[in-house]
Amino acid sequence: MRDMGLFQLMMKKKELIPMVAFVSCAGFAALYSCWHALRKPEVVFNKTGNPEPWQNVDPTKPQKLLTINQEWKAIEELEKVRSVTK
């Protein structure tokens, strides 16, 4: 019995094509979710160490895949509230 590759097996048994597509999409989604959870600053697992971790995000570093004309400036009302509450 000769070993068949995945592509040859899918060409021989056409009913495997949707299953391989769904499993591939699910695997990609799982890997992307893990990458996003470990690399992005807005995902926090340790809630006891720093109650406001979003305050540590660098405003000069883009956080999106595509950022067009990002300009950060402080909002006066929020700065007033922050100074009063601390």
Between CA 47 and CA 11 the distance in angstroms is: 50
Tell me what pLDDT residue 25 has.
96
Task: Give per-residue pLDDT as tens, 28-72.
Answer: 999 998 888 888 766 777 767 776 777 777 777 767 777 677 677
Between CA 83 and CA 68 the distance in angstroms is: 31
Tell me what pLDDT residue 2 has.
60
Q: SS3 sequence, 10-34?
A: HHHCCCHHHHHHHHHHHHHHHHHHH
What Rg, from alpha-carbon coordinates, does the chain have? Answer: 23
Segment 67-80 mean pLDDT: 78
Tell me what pLDDT residue 9 has.
83
Tell me what pLDDT residue 1 has.
46
What pTM was computed for the model?
0.46
